[in-house]
Structure 1
Amino acid sequence: MTDTTVDRAQDRATAHLRPAAHFTARDTWLNDPNGLVLHDGTWHLFFQNNPHGATHGNMSWGHATSDDLVSWTEQPVAIRHTATEEIFSGSAVVDEKNTAGFAGPGQTALVAVYTSAYRPAHPTLAGRQAQSLAYSLDDGRTWTRYAGNPVLDRGSADFRDPKVFWYDGEDGEGHWVMVAVEATDRQVVMYRSADLKHWEHLSTFGPAHATGGVWECPDLFPLPVRGTRRTRWVMIVSLNPGGVAGGSGAQYFVGDFDGTTFTPERPGDGPHGADWLDHGRDYYAPVSFNGVSDGRRLTVGWASNWDYANETPTSPWRSTMSLARELTLVRTSDGRDRVAQRPVLPEEAREGLSVHELRLPADGRRRHEIVLHGDGPDEVVLTVDAAARTLVSDRRRSGDTAFHPAFPSVDTAPLHDVGETVDVTVVVDGCVLEVYACGGLTTLTQVVFPTAPLTQVAVRETTAG
């Protein structure tokens, strides 16, 4: 039997695990989303990709496009690794003012700002991580590396994951801002530039809150507080390990940014004071789209966990993205501004998915178990305990759980501002389960590998104890 025959047989055996609305690469590995940008009505999702296999390695930027953030078309690899350079995470911008000078008359350049991870074969920069540019003049179809790379080099082995955005500021002209990490120092470093090529250091943030692993994939953006005229700034920082459910995770800070310094409203609370974008095991490296002019803040994350990502039982593809999520801030009853999230999932895009929208009575004497199951013996049990203010996910009987000892898990998320009822939205799409509760103040993402699709739901009551 040839390798191709084996791959096709494996693909058929796990076909029910491939999601419909969560992007997966056709037959290769993916991890962190990169370069999320909207340009001329097309959503561009770049991503960490191994073009040669289904495990992490040979990092390059893969590419997918969509008209609706739900149906994705994989494009050719955008920026490919070389013998001396891997292409780590970063961001993309629409250089409308042609600040970098890459565009000619009548053209608009898309500019990717990415981390060059220099391999041992590089003659001068081996072992370093520095920030580089590539640009596209044909709407993201082909990319050219900037001849002056790298554009920002701190002489560090762990300086990576630049997120770049345009900041209007108060000078009337505006400039680019970059947030990146010194990963092992648990710090976010901030820079400014007029042309994307020359960068000036602004400030450094961290360590703060959860620091149990390296910091990665930062993002910084303004976000309005729902129902008010106030706007705050939110900083997202992923870390691995040290996530709230173990392994990878994504925390966020709410505060203020004056163009130079980010100041969180709750400094120094330690890991137990961290706010988490998601309390499941499988939500990492979320970043937001650039180029969205209608006021929405939209993010995509990687739906996996570094504890076992290389071993999840799908083939020949491995790993998936989350749904796109719209973020807002909500003032909760404890006087805090917290991030609320909702999936971008219009009714016409739900074919092939199982979406369950429930409203459960918040009776302190009873718990409610939401049992997700299919035609086989596998199930995931979500327990809503209004008295304890918790949502618990138990995936220990969800199908194939033996591929890694860290995978079978019971994970707990807090419920905020519980009223007379608890609203819960559950999205099951192939191997991905996303749960949103309490108006999106609570989210929990898990991957599962059942023998048959989990298309059915049952709700049962138990006595709270």
Structure 2
Amino acid sequence: MMHDIQAVRQRFAHDFQRPRYHFLPPSNWMNDPNGLIHWQGAYHLFYQHNPASAVWGNMHWGHAVSPDLLHWTDLPLALAPTPGGPDERGVFSGCAVDNGLPTLIYTGVRGEQYEIQTQCLATSRDGLLTWEKHASNPVLSAVPAVSGQTADFRDPFVWREADGWYMVVGSRIADVGGAVFLYRSPDLLAWEYLGPLFIGDKNVNGVIWECPNFFKLGAHWVLIISAHTGTTTGDVIYFVGSYQDYRFTPFFQAKLSAAQMYAPLTTVDAQQRRLLIGWIREGRDDQAMLDAGWSGVQSIPRVLTLDAQQRLVMTPIAALDSLHGQHWHYENLPLAASRSLEAYGTAFDLAADFSVEPQGEAGFSLLVAPDGHERVDIIYNAAQQQLNVHTIRAQRLVETRQTPHALAAGEALSLRILLDASVIEIMANGRTSLTSRVYASSAACAGLRLLGRQAHLRALDLWEMPSIWQ
């Protein structure tokens, strides 16, 4: 079995657009992370997976295990649809908890349009290798009447408090906006409805709220939702606030991730840190994914904290440093134009600090073609207070992704960029995240340049990254 999986991975070894140090399944489709749990010294990751095709559908739960959240071993499928069961049309997203037994809580779907969505359980007694669905599934089926609809009720997120288990489920209130409903249970089986935890505004933050995460961080509570427009996936938004009498009252909200990261999942690791991992979507059409034979990547796990302004700060796990290969260091460089760097490749970890004047710009060109006519420009514009990602082909701008990013007076611009073939994860000062997919036309698109004007590079560290599958 494991030999067969390795053989499948080997088929894609020469695909220069396939990431090397991010997790993705051996082949075919992957989307949401569906449970990240530390169990007996190892991390188990479950994920939405179509084992038969590189496009969405036929939802199963894939499974992999890691000692460090970086090096992964593929395991057999954890969950599959049961004909005639509450999940006969798909095993949708959910989470994993330790209830004495490892337990998966997930959304089972039925109906031609996946319109019957209920919450189900499965447990394992053999070290998370095989899973038994509970005989009483579904354990929660009634959509709250306040919702005014019954078709969107999914993605349970569960945690334990002193008086029992709590669960939030993503949903919507018809003609109002996205909503998160709150429940309590003594045993993960009998659930008491406690009301809407928080309700959004369809004109501001999405029609449907998917994949909610709710947790305490420091002295405050954080709610993360993935906003769906009703026709397509949107941004990931987080709220920071207070939680009392089963209601959440935010005092701050912001975009957690712009562009192509969606459906993040958080967990607490062995060091009691709050970690986040998210699905990095493709940026190409179904036929291109079918031709490639694979689709979907998981982000590098990030540690979450709050800064003094109660903004969410995201830092790649420190274990990432263990992958660092050849190192380049630059410092104290004035930036007035493009400057080529010695490094050449498509898999790097970059950490840079810049001083940027009020009308200045600073950043990088990545995946630069030998003639310079194809590249990706990552540019911070101080006047616009905006982080931009420009994809350029044949000297023509073909796509721009952008997100606001304000610096305080005198604050340096800090960029952490994880480049991995077609994946670019960008974190600016830890509090602004933009994730992009860029598909270079050839493996020769591997140059790197510094960009800037009215700016100064304080320091740059650049490490080549290896494949985690060797």
Tell me which interval the TM-score lies in, with the shorter structure as reference length: 0.7 to 0.9
- Residue 146 of structure 2 aligns with which residue? none
Paired residues for 1:240-389 under 5 Å: 240-241=228-229, 247-258=233-244, 260-265=246-251, 274-279=253-258, 281-290=259-268, 292-304=269-281, 310=286, 313=289, 315-332=292-309, 337-344=310-317, 345-351=319-325, 353-376=347-370, 377-389=373-385
> In 2, distance between residues paired with 1:182 and 1:163?
12
* Aligned partner (choices 89, 100, 114) of residue 106 of structure 2: 114
- Residue 453 of structure 2 aligns with which residue? 462
Paired residues for 1:57-72 under 5 Å: 57-72=57-72
Judged with a 3 Å threshold, the aligned counterparts in structure 2 of structure 1 residues 164 and 383 are, in CA distance, closer, same or farther, namely same
Give the residue type in structure 1 aligned to 2:311: R
- Residue 23 of structure 1 aligns with which residue? 23
Paired residues for 1:55-134 under 5 Å: 55-84=55-84, 85=88, 86-96=90-100, 109-120=101-112, 127-134=115-122
Judged with a 3 Å threshold, the aligned counterparts in structure 2 of structure 1 residues 30 and 238 are, in CA distance, closer, same or farther, namely same
**Secondary structure class of the residue paired with 2:257:** coil
- Residue 438 of structure 2 aligns with which residue? 448
Supply the RMSD in Å over aligned alpha carbons: 3.0
Structure 2, unaligned stretches of length 5 or more? 1-6, 144-149, 326-345, 456-470
Judged with a 3 Å threshold, the aligned counterparts in structure 2 of structure 1 residues 9 and 20 are, in CA distance, closer, same or farther, namely closer
Paired residues for 1:160-175 under 5 Å: 160-168=154-162, 174-175=163-164
Paired residues for 1:201-240 under 5 Å: 201-204=193-196, 205-208=198-201, 210-224=204-218, 231-240=219-228
- Residue 178 of structure 1 aligns with which residue? 167
Judged with a 3 Å threshold, the aligned counterparts in structure 2 of structure 1 residues 254 and 420 are, in CA distance, closer, same or farther, namely closer
> In 1, distance between residues paired with 2:247 and 2:91?
28
Compute the displacement of 1:422 (Å).
1.1
**Structure (1 or 2) with the greater strand fraction:** 2
TM-score of the aligned structures, taking structure 2 as reference length: 0.80
- Residue 435 of structure 1 aligns with which residue? 426
Judged with a 3 Å threshold, the aligned counterparts in structure 2 of structure 1 residues 322 and 456 are, in CA distance, closer, same or farther, namely same
Question: Percent identity at matched positions?
Answer: 33
Structure 1, unaligned stretches of length 5 or more? 1-6, 97-108, 169-173, 225-230, 267-273, 402-406
Paired residues for 1:127-166 under 5 Å: 127-154=115-142, 156-166=150-160
Paired residues for 1:373-412 under 5 Å: 373-376=367-370, 377-397=373-393, 408-412=399-403
Give the residue type in structure 1 aligned to 2:73: T
Compute the displacement of 1:456 (Å).
3.7
Compute the displacement of 1:408 (Å).
2.9
**Secondary structure class of the residue paired with 1:427:** strand
Contact in 2 for aligned 1:49/1:61 (Cα 8 Å): yes
Judged with a 3 Å threshold, the aligned counterparts in structure 2 of structure 1 residues 433 and 203 are, in CA distance, closer, same or farther, namely same
> In 1, distance between residues paired with 2:275 and 2:364?
28
> In 2, distance between residues paired with 1:323 and 1:90?
20
Compute the displacement of 1:415 (Å).
3.0
Give the residue type in structure 2 aligned to 1:430: A
- Residue 104 of structure 1 aligns with which residue? none
> In 1, distance between residues paired with 2:390 and 2:271?
38
> In 2, distance between residues paired with 1:31 and 1:220?
21
Give the residue type in structure 1 aligned to 2:125: L
Judged with a 3 Å threshold, the aligned counterparts in structure 2 of structure 1 residues 242 and 353 are, in CA distance, closer, same or farther, namely farther
TM-score of the aligned structures, taking structure 1 as reference length: 0.80
Moved more, 371-380 or 182-191: 371-380
Give the residue type in structure 2 aligned to 1:322: S
Compute the displacement of 1:215 (Å).
1.3
Compute the displacement of 1:288 (Å).
0.5
**Secondary structure class of the residue paired with 1:346:** helix
> In 2, distance between residues paired with 1:64 and 1:398?
40
- Residue 102 of structure 1 aligns with which residue? none
Contact in 1 for aligned 2:9/2:27 (Cα 8 Å): no
> In 1, distance between residues paired with 2:221 and 2:419?
32
> In 2, distance between residues paired with 1:420 and 1:150?
52
Judged with a 3 Å threshold, the aligned counterparts in structure 2 of structure 1 residues 242 and 444 are, in CA distance, closer, same or farther, namely farther
Contact in 2 for aligned 1:184/1:215 (Cα 8 Å): no
Q: Residues 241-278 of structure 1, C-alpha deviation per residue, up to 9 Å, x if partnerless?
A: 399xx952210111122362222125xxxxxxx51111
Compute the displacement of 1:9 (Å).
13
- Residue 227 of structure 1 aligns with which residue? none
Judged with a 3 Å threshold, the aligned counterparts in structure 2 of structure 1 residues 9 and 199 are, in CA distance, closer, same or farther, namely closer
Judged with a 3 Å threshold, the aligned counterparts in structure 2 of structure 1 residues 20 and 133 are, in CA distance, closer, same or farther, namely same
**Secondary structure class of the residue paired with 2:292:** coil
What is the aligned residue count?
Answer: 409
